[in-house]
Every structure is written in structure tokens, then in C-alpha cells.
Amino acid sequence: MAKVSVGLRGWRFDEDEVFTEDGEWAPLDEMPDDARNRLLRLGLLMDQPCDACYLEYGEEEKRRANPAAIVYGEPGDEVLLCDDHEADFLYWFREEGGSELAGEERFRDEFHEWFVAGNRAPEGYGPDEHVEEAPGDMPNLPTPEEAQRRLEQAVDFEEKRYDLRAAEGDDEEGDDLDVADLDLDTEYPSG
């Protein structure tokens, strides 16, 4: 099973989870939750500026910021980087304790604070070699609007899938259960 980056380097997907044998996008409801969420998030991140460039130039001069080429972190707390700033991030992650924050909510904020304080990778600290095999063969990512539509469909799908009040949540008479019917004073054994 091959791992592929889609749109931005960094997040890797199992090829057979996101594409059909014909190289088309797999249906969203057939993708594992993590792959689907990351893929839809990527659609919203495309064409966004590099975080480090944005921190350097600010809102007034954000047009000078390079577009992001790499994404690290978890969806919603990701760090977007251009090729020029990847080394800074990798240095922070590997040498300055950033790896200890992997998966934490403050991951992105801690990198931003480190960068804004003037910290950088030492000269010559290079990023890993990236191998891109036939990037033109990859299907196009959805537009941000299409990604948002797919995300909304996925959320609707998940809500229907986990609607606990449907059928199973009805009592014997077919009436919906009410919170007032619950005995909240029940004591449960503790371990």
C-alpha cells in the first residue's frame, strides 16, 4: 500500500483509502474518518500563505508571503509552511522540543511563538529530501467550496449515522425519551 501526499506535502494518505483503482477519488463515506477529515481540510488549506511568512510580513504585507507547500500537525491545529521555512519548523520540532507537543492543541501556537521570538534553524539545517513521483498524475483537489460542500455532506452523514434518538432511542410506546426520564442520581462502581 503506497503512501501519497495530496495537494500539500506532509500529510500522507494510504493511496487505496482515498483513490479507487481507476485513480478517481473514493466516495467520502467509504474513506476512514481520519483520511476524509484531512482530505477535506486540505481543500480549505490550499492557496493559504505560509504561517512563517505571514508572521514575518503581517496582515498589511501578506501578499509577500509564499504560498504554503507543506502541512504539519493535526487538522485544525496545523502549521502551513513554504519550502523556505520548512527547515525552521523541522529544527523546532526535532531540536527545540516541538515533537513533545505533537497532537496537542497548542502545537501551532508554540511554533508561532518560537518563530516570532526570532528563532530560526541554523544555517545549513536542511529539510528532508522530498520525492514526488508523477505529481501530475494525481487527481485535482476539490476547490475550497467543493471541500466545504463535501465536509457538510460528511457531517450530515455522521449525524445520521450516530442519531441515537432514531428508532433505538424510542421507548416501548414509541415516544421520544426525555432527559427528565433519566435517573441521574445512579451511582456507578468506580475502579
Per-residue pLDDT of the chain (191 residues; tens, 9 = 90+): 688 888 899 999 999 998 888 888 888 889 999 999 998 899 889 889 999 999 999 888 878 899 999 999 999 999 999 999 999 999 999 999 999 999 999 999 999 999 999 999 999 897 665 444 444 444 455 555 666 666 666 655 555 554 544 544 444 454 554 545 544 454 545 54
Residue 181 forms part of a structural domain:
no
- With a CB cutoff of 8 Å and minimum separation 6, the contacts of 169 are 163, 176, 177
Residue 27 forms part of a structural domain:
yes
Residue 22 forms part of a structural domain:
yes
Alpha-carbon gap, residue 113 to 161, rounded angstroms: 40
As for how many domains the chain has, the answer is 1
Residue 185 forms part of a structural domain:
no
Residue 139 forms part of a structural domain:
no
Q: 30-65 in b/e burial notation, b at 16+ Cβ within 10 A?
A: ebeeebbbbbbbbbbbbebbbbbbbbebeeeeeeeb
Residue 60 forms part of a structural domain:
yes
Which residue type occupies 117? A
SS3 149: helix
Residue 120 forms part of a structural domain:
yes
Residue 25 forms part of a structural domain:
yes
Domain that holds residue 8: 3-128
Alpha-carbon gap, residue 37 to 43, rounded angstroms: 10
